Structure 1
Amino acid sequence: MFPLHDALPQNSNPPYILVSSKDTYSNGEKITVSLTTTDTALIKGFMIQARKANGDILVGSFEVSNADAQTLTCKSPADAVSHTDSNLKSNIQVTWTAPDVLTGNVMFRATVVKSKKTFWTNVVSTALIYNNKVSNTTTTALNGHTVTALNGHTATTSHGSSNSGFRLSASFTFGLMLGVLTVIAFLLGI
């Protein structure tokens, strides 16, 4: 993320901070990301990406809700955001949506332009920690049988003279399998 401004990036600490609205996230969750100035240095231009904390792989997608920002496509649709004009700004807010698959910890990275010859290329947030909690279960009694919900998917019971066992709905079974695969992938570091 290097602007073609015929200048080198600044070596000093940037007068900008990049923060997320939360410290942790889950798959598919929406997080507000803010780029703000720490002093009187305004923002003339910017580009923000979300990357895996342990590398340069872009993850998730962005949404914008104001005229100061637009989504860009680097590797996949809306995987970066940038300014729409060179008007000076003091604060930028965008929404990042986490991918639906296991990602791991994420850091937001920005290039911020103060003027044509004054810019910083590695403004980074603290790590957004992936919440690897696999299940969120709720148990309820229903007609004498226990019904358990896992990540919003409900198991159903059946009873009668020929079948007194527990029958799982297809969506519950899929959710359970996805949870198990997520744990395995996390343990293997994938």
Structure 2
Amino acid sequence: MYAILLLFLVPAALAYSRGPPVANAGLCSDMIPTDHNGGVSLATDMDNPPYTITTSSDMYYAGGTVTVTIAGMGATMFKGFFIQARRTNLSMDTDEAIGTFSGAPNGTQLLECTVANSAWGHSNSDERTTVEATWNAPMQDEGPIMFKAIIVKGVPNRSHFYMNVTSDVMDFTQTPSTTPSSTASSVTVPLVLMTTIALGLAALLAARRQ
């Protein structure tokens, strides 16, 4: 009997330590962790998660990068997480992972949700209070987006988790220009004009003195 029980427990423990099971149908789209208590959290503060998702910019541009940080408020720790970038425009597909991640630190991993590296999550059950990686924007305007995550507190057990933890919305902007700015041009023209006027006045005064 104990051997049978162990066979059930070991796979569950391995699934937790190896990271989000993206092979499970639905996780990449609905972001419901059905392997954690059937997707029903036992956390009593679901409406006020003790975690934040912050970004290094409130704008993104085609092919640009943004630093994404997940942190526990007041050093609240967490043992697992699963995060994607999602469109917020309801007239578009809001269940698709947008862009890719890179620079995943130790204890975390890049995951595939249709596209390689389009999601990021834990790779072990170590306790952590903050984690950071780079998000690489797609090469086209996807409209406003935000980061959406599942964060597993894991205390007192893995059934204590938070869904729909989100960042602020990031809007799309055009690629920063590499041409000389209009400000520099507008400064140069008045300086040339002032120099010309000064030389003219000097010539006029010299003529009057003769």
In which range does the TM-score fall when normalised by the shorter chain? Answer: 0.5 to 0.7
Q: Residues 28 and 117 of structure 1: is their aligned pair in 2 closer, same or farther, counting only changes over 3 Å?
A: same
Counterpart CA distance in 1 for 2:66 and 2:100 is: 11
Question: SS at 1:51's partner residue?
Answer: strand
Quick one: which of 88, 110, 114 aligns to 1:75?
A: 114
Aligned length: 139
Counterpart CA distance in 2 for 1:93 and 1:65 is: 7
RMSD between aligned alpha carbons?
1.9
Question: SS at 1:39's partner residue?
Answer: helix
Quick one: which of 13, 27, 31 aligns to 2:48?
A: 13
The alignment status of 1:98 with 2:133, answered yes or no, reads: no
Deviations 1:123-182 (A, max 9, x none): 000101111x3783736xxxxxxxxxxxxxxxxxxxxxxxxxxxxxxxxxxxxxxxxxxx
> For 1:160-179, what aligned pairs fall within 5 Å after superposition?
none
Counterpart CA distance in 2 for 1:123 and 1:89 is: 17
TM-superposed deviation, 1:117:
1.4
TM-superposed deviation, 1:75:
1.6
Q: Which residue of 2 aligns with 1:25?
A: 60
Please give the TM-score of this superposition, normalised by the length of structure 1: 0.68
The residue type equivalent to 1:27 in the other structure is: A
Counterpart CA distance in 2 for 1:120 and 1:110 is: 8
Counterpart CA distance in 1 for 2:176 and 2:64 is: 16
Q: Is the 8 A contact 1:51 1:108 kept in 2?
A: yes
Please give the TM-score of this superposition, normalised by the length of structure 2: 0.62
Counterpart CA distance in 2 for 1:137 and 1:22 is: 19
Counterpart CA distance in 2 for 1:76 and 1:50 is: 12
Q: Which residue of 2 aligns with 1:46?
A: 81
Question: SS at 2:127's partner residue?
Answer: coil
Q: Which residue of 2 aligns with 1:126?
A: 168
Larger Rg: 2
- Percent of aligned pairs sharing the same letter: 33
- Which runs of 5 or more structure 1 residues have no equivalent in the other structure? 140-190
Q: Which residue of 1 aligns with 2:32?
A: 2
